[in-house]
Amino acid sequence: MHIANPALATTVLPPPSMKRASFGTCTAPWHQLRRSCRRTPRPRRQLELLPECEYAEAIGCVRLHCQPPIFDMQTPLSQFQSRQLEVIARATPYSMVGHILNTTVLAVAMMGSIPTAQLTIWCIYSYAVALVVLYRHIRNRGRVPRNFARAARRATLYAFFLALPWSIMIVLYLGSLSRDQELILVALGVGMAASGTILLSAVPVAALSYMSGALIPTAIKSLLFLRPQGYLLIGVLALSYWWFLAALIAKISREIAERKRIDVALKENEIRLQETLAAGQVVAFTWDPETGQSQRSQNASQCLGLEARTATQGMGKDFLARVHPDDRRCFAAQIKGLRPENPIYSTSFRFIRPDGRTMWLEETGRSEFDAAGHCLRLTGLTTDITDRKHAEEQQRLLVRELDHRVKNLLASIARVAQRTREGSSSIDEYLPALDGRIQSMTNAHALLSRSHWQGVRLAELVRSELAPFVKADGASVEGPDVLLAAKATQPMAIVLHELVTNASKYGALSTPDGRITVRWDWREDQARLVLEWIEAGGPPVIPDQPGYGTGVIRNLIPYELGGAVDLVFAAEGLRCRIALPSKCLAIAS
């Protein structure tokens, strides 16, 4: 971005239209701007004619003097330093031509009063210095200086050598020529000092070197070595003129220092802006509807996956071509519908990167119109919302899954309640049985919630179901580390609850010496997990009597999980063998 400093309006800093800056070996392109927004607005095509536009660029609505933001520095030099050298570069050819013409005029005027050999040597030197500077300027045209201080020192050195022939002429011959010749000599010397100072004022040290070389020798010789009153006046005028030019250069130097401070602050703000945009995955853009050109911030390549060259500068229609076909018509309609009374739009769409990946973008922009209602430019921000869209989709899936699970859970509770009521002879028998079964389902749900529904370890589930009924040494739990899938956890919890409830009422856990062994193993050849429930030390086993609990143990696993259950009422104790297919496991080891 460029901020004009009103304090420098009287200096010779160049307008934005200047393209190059050089002096001798130094050249620098500046700002690469195609146009200045201070021009008279040209006719622009109506916004209605923009079906293949991108839209905009530029940070919010930040504009200074109607000039579009530039998001990158093209050279190692700062923008203002480039402009300083730009002034001298544009002045260099004209200054050297003027130097050669003045040398020629003075040589013609001095013919006959100065020995021909001395005048010839003086002319050759003066011409040679000017031609060398011109040669260096042309040879290095288009090169970018890497160091401003070095470029300024070189400009100062050239200024000294250019002023030297005039200093030599004044020191050697002022006071020994005719009045007309001395008048020409002084006039040319003062004129060269004034014009050179103004032209070199962008580099104050070079300007001071040039004007001092032209004026100080005149003042010293006139005041100290030439007695007539006329020479005293010339010396005072030369000294006062030098003082005036020195004050002007001092003022310009202060303004340049202030501009440099502003330039540094702008650069720091630009860096912070780029970091902020990159951190927020936001791309700032400007689109010119007349040329179809778009400018984007430096992070466009990273955010959009485009080539670095085309990411920051490209055609709006190229961007539109990468909008997802299903979103393109709606997106173009948003841009086409902008009017002076409705200049703002906000939309989201899918964007296809060059690598084939699809990303979601959200774009907000503002259109600027002239008095006739023609669109001048579109500025705005494009944000990568791919992660947000994925999170929203994940949230929708979770809500749908939660809804499904809640419905299933409520249906299971209703079914358990009904079947428990059918198998209970009294309310006193019904309530504890229902409470136990619901509590078992609650415990299984709590285990799933702790694992974020990624599954539950079988050993943890078995211990959770045994804990309310088994003493410290009343059960043995053995088996490898197995993680049950979420869909298998609830059915297994219900079956284990029915087994442990039956054991506490009629089996091994109903006597002090009873004992339960729960063990499981992964059968690689069958791709199944086999769990065995073995009771021992309990009362005599009563033959199988149909009931809700027995029905759940035998039928729930085959029906819900596709497994197999073998329930045996052996004389020494109840045995149950459960086989689960591999789909019921998240991890098996």
- What secondary structure does DSSP assign to 542-577, as a single string? PPP---HHHHHHHHHHHHHHS-EEEEEEETTEEEEE
DSSP one-letter code for 518: E
d(C-alpha 567, C-alpha 437), whole Å:
20
d(C-alpha 41, C-alpha 436), whole Å:
83
Cβ distance 25 to 18 under 8 Å? no
Cβ distance 514 to 508 under 8 Å? yes
Residue 477 bridge partners (DSSP) = 518
Helices (H) and strands (E) in the chain, counts: 15, 16
Q: Identify which of 376, 377, 374 has the alpha carbon closest to the alpha carbon of residue 48.
A: 374
Tokens 């195609």 found at? 34
Residue 285 bridge partners (DSSP) = 296, 380
Helical ranges in 58-178 per DSSP H: 79-110, 116-139, 148-173
d(C-alpha 281, C-alpha 289), whole Å:
25
Query: Any residues with CB less than 8 A from the CB of 566 and at least 6 apart, and which?
Result: 576, 577
Amino acid at position 31, single letter: H
**Each residue's pLDDT tens digit in the chain (589 positions)?**
333 333 333 333 333 333 333 333 333 333 333 333 333 344 433 333 333 333 333 323 333 333 333 333 334 566 677 777 777 788 788 888 888 888 898 888 888 888 889 889 989 998 998 899 888 888 887 776 777 788 888 888 888 888 888 888 888 888 888 878 888 888 888 887 777 777 777 778 888 888 888 788 888 888 887 767 677 887 888 888 788 888 888 888 888 788 878 877 777 777 777 777 777 778 888 888 888 888 888 778 778 877 776 667 667 678 888 889 998 888 888 888 888 888 898 889 999 888 888 989 988 889 888 888 888 888 888 888 888 888 988 889 888 878 887 887 787 778 777 767 766 777 877 788 778 788 888 888 888 888 877 889 999 999 988 888 887 677 889 999 999 998 888 889 999 988 988 888 888 888 888 899 999 998 888 789 999 999 998 888 876 666 778 888 888 889 889 999 999 888 888 999 999 998 888 864 4
Tokens 């001048």 found at? 376
Element (H, E) at 520: strand 515-523
Residue 488 Cα to chain centre, angstroms: 46
Residue 547 Cα to chain centre, angstroms: 68
Token pair for 571: 């004389």
Q: Identify which of 234, 210, 212, 211 has the alpha carbon closest to the alpha carbon of residue 224.
A: 234
Amino acid at position 122, single letter: W
d(C-alpha 201, C-alpha 239), whole Å:
19
Strands 515-523 and 475-478: parallel
Tokens 């004050």 found at? 247
d(C-alpha 313, C-alpha 303), whole Å:
15
Amino acid at position 306, single letter: L
d(C-alpha 458, C-alpha 471), whole Å:
20
d(C-alpha 364, C-alpha 283), whole Å:
11
Handedness of CA 576, 577, 581, 585 (dihedral sign): positive
